[in-house]
Amino acid sequence: MKRIVIFASGGGTNAENLIKFFQNSSNASVIQVLTNNPHAKVLERAKNLNVSALSFNRMAFTKTDDVLHILKAAKPDLIILAGFLWKFPEHILNVFPNKVINVHPALLPKYGGKGMYGMHVHKAVVENNETETGITIHYVNEHYDEGAIIFQAKCSVTSSDTPQDVAAKIHELEMEHFPVVANKLLS
């Protein structure tokens, strides 16, 4: 059985979707959720689904090996960033090469980089009159949103779409594709 660890920073809807997807899998299961936000709703979601969940601070993540030790003990086959807002440190990436993936709410390389997450992305898409957007699932490297692309899915953007409308379309794509792509990577 393959082991998945999820990193999330907020509400945790993607994390919950992933946990539920793998609950009945004979291939893999989510064994732990880690968050940089001690008040994140993802902690409650994980607990309700009987998945171990811990929060950590920036020092434990970037300056010490505390989070790395947690990961080494968990022995993940895949680390999934699901709405995780911090840049992933090189010292962890070096121990888990090509085992860390992220979903980005745009068609990279467009609308990627530092500060480009969530509504910031959707507002930029609408302001630039894009006719399509989508999601990009990619490997994580030492730069924001620059790792090798694994999968992209597109949706249309109409002239009447608000950033909230775009967010809803992106959320649907994430719910549909993120677990399936993760499962394929583990198969």
Pick the catalytic residue: 39, 104, 120, 171? 104
Q: What is the DSSP letter of 148?
A: P
47-63: buried (b, 16+ CB within 10 Å) or exposed (e) per residue? eebebebeebeeebbee
The structure tokens 């969940």 sit at 53
Q: Does 91 qualify as catalytic in the annotation?
A: no
Q: Is 28 exposed, middle or buried (0-12, 13-18, 19+ CB in 10 A)?
A: buried
In Å, how far are 25, 36, 42, 46, 169 from 7, measured between CA atoms?
A: 20, 8, 9, 11, 23
Do 49 and 22 contact (CB within 8 A), yes or no?
A: no
Maximum alpha-carbon separation in the chain: 49
Active site (catalytic) residues: 104
